[in-house]
């Protein structure tokens, strides 16, 4: 394996089409496509400043690397990529990637992160300023993520999340086959038009959650007082270990809670409107 240590590169494609390459304390300055069409790249403590540095890569590992705000769209069309202990301010990072593992990393200014990716594993990470992330991605496993942003997990499939804090408006819209455990889910209009969403021991905050949902299940969840007007036009099976401020026009199934501030069943109900609402024994 070739090694490059403590060097600096700039310009277009300085290490194009390289294979079995180890980089340590290397800086890639302004330019484009520094490591395009490469495979089996190991990068330790490297800094990426130029645009599009890691496109069409396969089998690469980035450890303790920094991707600056100028490093636009750094990883696209890659396969089998691992990031450990990395820090990124790069927008539009990770697009059309298959086989992605991220641990102990931090992403800020993370707009449009991880679009159309498949096979994602994330553990012990923090992501902020994250609008429209995980769009149309699938086969996602997350443990201990602190997420702050808007419009996350839209049009996604096969998601497993645990031990996380998700502070995100309009999350999980039109997404399917989702399990969230032991997590806080904070944000308005949670999971509208979702399919097969299960929430287990979660704390839910934000107005009008879980409306237009299909095959929705809640097991021992807690609703904050601002989680009002819940379950409109949803098919739901819910056991809620708190009071619910208000429930509005659920379709079918059952809702059991410690109390209800208001149950709204008005002239706008839709068939079959046979959801059973009751207090927990």
Domain parsing of the chain, residue ranges: 1-152, 181-281
Bridge partners of residue 9, in order along the sequence:
28
pLDDT of 235 strictly over 90:
yes
Q: Is this model's pTM higher than 0.85 or not?
A: yes
138 near 157, Cβ under 8 Å?
yes
183 near 164, Cβ under 8 Å?
yes
CATH topology of domain 1-152: Pectate Lyase C-like (2.160.20)
137 near 156, Cβ under 8 Å?
yes
Confidence of residue 118 (pLDDT cuts 50, 70, 90): very high
Those residues whose C-beta lies under 8 Å from the C-beta of residue 82, and which sit 6 or more positions away, are 60, 61, 62, 100, 101, 102
- Give the pLDDT score at 1: 82
- Give the pLDDT score at 240: 98
pLDDT of 113 strictly over 90:
yes
Average pLDDT over residues 29-51: 97
Confidence of residue 164 (pLDDT cuts 50, 70, 90): very high
pLDDT tens digits along 209-219: 999 999 999 99
Confidence of residue 142 (pLDDT cuts 50, 70, 90): very high
The two tokens of residue 240 are 């809620």
b (16+ CB within 10 A) / e for 21-55: bbbeebbbeebebbbbebbbbbbbbbbbbbbbbbb
- Give the pLDDT score at 281: 80
Average pLDDT over residues 128-145: 97
Count the helices and strands in the chain (H runs, E runs): 0, 26
How many angstroms separate the CA atoms of 152 and 159, rounded?
A: 12
């Amino acid at each position: 394996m070739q090694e490059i240590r403590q060097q600096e590169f700039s310009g277009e494609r300085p290490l194009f089409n390289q294979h079995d390459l180890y980089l340590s304390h290397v800086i890639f300055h302004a330019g484009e496509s520094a490591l395009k069409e490469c495979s089996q790249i190991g990068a330790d403590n490297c800094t990426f400043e130029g645009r599009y540095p890691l496109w069409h890569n396969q089998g690469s590992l980035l450890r303790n690397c920094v991707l600056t705000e100028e490093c636009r769209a750094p990883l696209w069309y890659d396969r089998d990529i691992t990031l450990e202990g990395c820090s990124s301010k790069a927008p539009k990072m990770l697009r059309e990637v298959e086989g992605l593992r991220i641990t102990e990393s931090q992403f800020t200014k993370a707009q449009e992160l991880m679009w159309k990716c498949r096979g994602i594993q994330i553990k012990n990470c923090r992501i902020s300023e994250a609008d429209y992330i995980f769009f149309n991605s699938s086969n996602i496993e997350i443990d201990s993520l602190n997420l702050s942003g808007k419009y996350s997990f839209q049009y996604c499939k096969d998601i497993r999340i645990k031990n996380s804090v998700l502070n995100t408006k309009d999350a999980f819209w039109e997404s399917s086959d989702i399990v969230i455990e032991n997590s806080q889910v904070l944000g308005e209009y949670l999971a509208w038009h979702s399919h097969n969403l299960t929430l287990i021991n979660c704390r839910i905050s934000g107005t009008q959650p879980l409306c237009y949902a299909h095959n929705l299940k809640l097991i021992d969840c807690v609703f904050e007082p601002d989680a009002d007007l819940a379950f409109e036009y949803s098919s739901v099976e819910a056991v809620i270990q708190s009071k619910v401020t208000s429930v509005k026009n659920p379709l079918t199934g059952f809702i059991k809670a410690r109390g209800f501030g208001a149950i709204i069943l008005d002239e706008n109900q839709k068939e079959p409107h046979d959801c059973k609402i009751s207090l927990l024994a």
